[in-house]
Structure 1
Amino acid sequence: MSGSGQRVLNLLRKMIIDGEFPAGERLAEIPTAERLGVSRMPVRMAFRALEQEGLLIRLGARGFTVKQMTADDLAGAVEVRGVLEGLAARQAAERGIPTGIREVLLSCLEQGDQLFAKGYVCEEDLAEYHDINKRFHQAIIDASNNMAIAEALARNEHLPFASVSSLAVDRNDLALEYRRFNFAHMQHHTVVDALLSGQGARAEMIMREHANATLRYAHLFGSAPRDGLKIIQ
């Protein structure tokens, strides 16, 4: 997805989280594009992505409707992902990390370090980190060499905010977003250390914590999100 498409996706996702598009509201391309001041194409692509994430329900030719969600729904979906990715990390550490995947993981760490080194982030940085994050998590799944985990994660991704791609960004508080995303990146460093050291139990624990951390520790970032939730994955 292009940078502009990713920005529209992030914005719509956050509007759903914040209740600007309440559960049951019907969304159509043209009025949504006009409201956001963008063309129909990025809105169309965002709707499809949000349907895959479980946030929207297709109404055929009549557009989409916002799915009803509760705080328990969000927390449960993220916790399931944490269990699956934790298992993948443990098995990867116990099997040993192949050279190619090791290089991917270290490259993701290096790129993230460069991104956060300046002490702040802009929207373009967060779009770049979105891609880094996806590659990092996929590398761990690949290293587990367990298709059952990959298939279970694929099914789980249809639940709201269970996908590693589901990043909700507050464009109005990028200082907060710097703290959140940098925290997640530091967790990436710790899990790579465990993976390369062959510490399976530790790698599993870190990945489970990584999935749940910002659900439980929103106060660390100086924010009190709606319903106590602030999603970053």
Structure 2
Amino acid sequence: MSTVGLTPEPVEAGGSHAVKAQLRLREMILAGALAGGARIAEVAVSELLGVSRTPVRSALMRLEQEGLLESLPNGGYAVRTFSERDVADAIELRGTLEGLSARLAAERGAPPVVLREARACLRRIDELLRQPALDDAAFSRYVAFNEEFHRLLSEMSGSALIAKQMERVINLPFASPSGFVVVQANSPAARDMLLIAQDQHGQVLDAIENREGSRAEALMREHSRIAQRNLREALHGVQNHPLPGVQLIRRRA
């Protein structure tokens, strides 16, 4: 098992050293600078980032909670790898929770202000998708709007418990609503798939407003299938996709 051995890069002064160390390490893991199985020790990371061991210890614990690291019996941490089934199950779990959230929103009645915010979010996505092709800046805006829509959907249920569980799920590696959407950026059918996803967004809002709980739930479960498709494309497609962290996923034979 290899250990961290990169050129030290000091973390900027000020703010939370623990948060900055966490962000830097996450970036390195997802970029492939720290390979799956690489052993990461506090002392090595402290020297690498130019901070004391206390914020490093906190950063490593947070990354373990996120699922990117696993603690070792003899101390320290290692970069985790994930089976394709693990990732598919995480996406399925998100779809299940989002479906439940949508059904409860329809049955209980979503707050009008949240529905208006969601409609406004979809209008912004519609404006982006009117372009014949998305450049990098437009695609980044799509990702932000998409994540905002899914956040609002979680809020509509009025359940703090579901919202908390949803937050935990989307923090799992590759399980966020935009976890695999980057795959579509380089796909010949990119814009078509985004249009399908956007149509599903609109339909689920219609179902919630019309108090059609079962339909709203089914639509969100189906919506997560797009992420499953993108996962398969990222791992088994003929094109190479610049998906952050994809090297940590063990492909099925």
Both structures adopt the same fold (TM-score exceeding 0.5): yes
Shift of residue 177, structure 1, vs aligned partner = 3.6
- Which residue in the other structure is 2:94 paired with? 81
C-alpha distance in 2 between matches for 1:197 and 1:56: 44
Q: Counterparts in 2 of 1:1-233, with a 5 A limit?
A: 13=30, 22-25=35-38, 53-56=66-69, 65-167=78-180, 169-170=182-183, 173=186, 175-215=188-228, 217=229, 224-227=233-236
Residue by residue over 1:172-194, the C-alpha shift from the partner in whole angstroms, topping out at 9 and shown as x without a partner, is 72644433333322211111111
Check 1:54–1:130 CA distance in 2 against 1; reply closer, same or farther (3 A cut).
farther
Distance 1:163 1:50, change over 3 A: farther
Instruction: State the number of aligned residues.
Output: 201
Separation of aligned partners in 1, 2:162 and 2:95: 12
Q: Which runs of 5+ in 1 are unaligned?
A: 1-8, 30-46
State how far apart, in whole Å, the 2-side matches of 1:176 and 1:188 are. Answer: 19
Which letter does structure 1 place at the counterpart of 2:93? Answer: V
Taking the aligned partners of 1:130 and 1:10, their CA distance within structure 2 comes to 18
Distance in 2 between residues matched to 1:119 and 1:49, nearest whole Å: 41
Bigger proportion of residues as helix: 1
Among the aligned pairs, what percent are the same residue? 34
Cα pair distance change 1:164/1:58, threshold 3 Å:
farther
SS in 1 for 2:82: coil
**Contact 2:154/2:166 (<8 A) preserved:** no
Q: Distance in 2 between matches of 1:58 and 1:122?
A: 40
Is the contact between residue 77 and residue 159 of structure 1 (CA under 8 Å) also seen in structure 2?
Answer: yes
Give the RMSD, CA atoms, in angstroms: 4.0
- 1: distance between equivalents of 2:152 and 2:86? 27
Structure 2: which amino acid aligns with 1:180? M
Report the TM-score, using the length of structure 2 for normalisation. 0.63
Change in 2 beyond 3 A, CA 1:105/1:195? same
TM-score by length of 1: 0.68
Q: Measure the CA separation in 2 of the matches of 1:176 and 1:86.
A: 26
Q: Secondary structure at the match of 2:192?
A: helix
Shift of 1:56: 4.7
Distance in 1 (alpha carbons) for counterparts of 2:230 and 2:177: 18
| SS class of match (2:122) | helix
Seen in structure 2, the aligned counterparts of structure 1 residues 123 and 194 have a Cα distance that, compared at 3 Å, is same
